[in-house]
Amino acid sequence: MARELSLGVLVSGSGSNLQAIVDAIESDRLDAVIKIVISNNPNAYALERCRRHNIPISVINHCQYKSREAFDDKMISVLTDNGVELVVMAGFMRILTERLLRAFPLRVMNIHPALLPSFPGLHGQRQAFDYGVKFSGCTVHFVDEGVDTGPIIIQAVVPCCDDDTEESLQQKILKEEHRIYPQAIQYFAEGRLEVSGRKVHIKNSNQMSTPSLHNPHLEGF
The residues that touch ligand GAR, with contacts defined as CB under 6 A, are: 13-17, 90-91, 111-113, 124, 174, 177
Q: How far is the CB of 203 from ligand GAR (least distance, A)?
A: 26
Burial per residue of 17-34, b for 16 or more beta-carbon CB atoms within 10 angstroms, e otherwise: bbbbbbebbeeeebbbeb
Q: Which residues 6+ apart lie within 8 Å of 184 measured at CB?
A: 109, 140, 153, 154
Comparing CB distances to ligand GAR, the nearer of 8 and 15 is 15
Q: How far is the CB of 44 from ligand GAR (least distance, A)?
A: 8
Q: How far is the CB of 48 from ligand GAR (least distance, A)?
A: 12
Q: How far is the CB of 212 from ligand GAR (least distance, A)?
A: 26
Comparing CB distances to ligand GAR, the nearer of 124 and 182 is 124
Comparing CB distances to ligand GAR, the nearer of 110 and 186 is 110
Q: Which residues 6+ apart lie within 8 Å of 144 measured at CB?
A: 101, 150, 151
Q: In this structure, are residues 160 and 128 in contact, taking their beta carbons and an 8 Å threshold?
A: yes
> Closest CB to ligand GAR belongs to which residue?
91
- Overall size of the chain counted in residues: 221
Q: Which residues are catalytic?
A: 112
Comparing CB distances to ligand GAR, the nearer of 29 and 197 is 29
Q: In this structure, are residues 119 and 127 in contact, taking their beta carbons and an 8 Å threshold?
A: yes
Neighbours of 51 (CB within 10 A): 9
